[in-house]
Amino acid sequence: MRKVQVHRLILPESVDEQMLAMLARKQSEFDDYARDSDLANQASGAKDPSEESMAKVIVMEERKRLGIENRDDHMIAVEDEE
């Protein structure tokens, strides 16, 4: 087994940009509605329920961009039919 180095570049229209845009939107929404909320102050262990779904959307979009799909919990590369 050989060790390899993998470099992933940040590209336009990549998952990185989607994540940053989604993070900015969520931060703004949180600041508008929950930053000074009494309920939020009382529920210190509360978790944002949309965090998990946000992660799933990001992963699905990245898989779609890379041509990968899920089947029976296994990732399968989608071949171009040309």
The pTM for the full model equals 0.34
Q: Where are the beta strands (DSSP E) in 25-79?
A: 68-71, 74-77
Question: Per the domain annotation, does 24 fall within a domain?
Answer: yes
Q: Pairing mode, if any, of strands 68-71 and 74-77?
A: antiparallel
Q: 11-67 pLDDT, tens per residue?
A: 777 777 888 889 999 988 888 876 666 665 676 555 555 666 777 888 888 888 888
Looking at residue 6, its amino acid is: V
Residue 18 has a pLDDT of 84
| Domain total in the chain | 1
Angle (nearest 5°) at CA 22 between 69 and 9: 60
Question: Per the domain annotation, does 8 fall within a domain?
Answer: no
Question: Per the domain annotation, does 5 fall within a domain?
Answer: no
The whole domain housing 69 covers: 15-41+49-77
Cα separation, 16 vs 13, in Å, equals 8
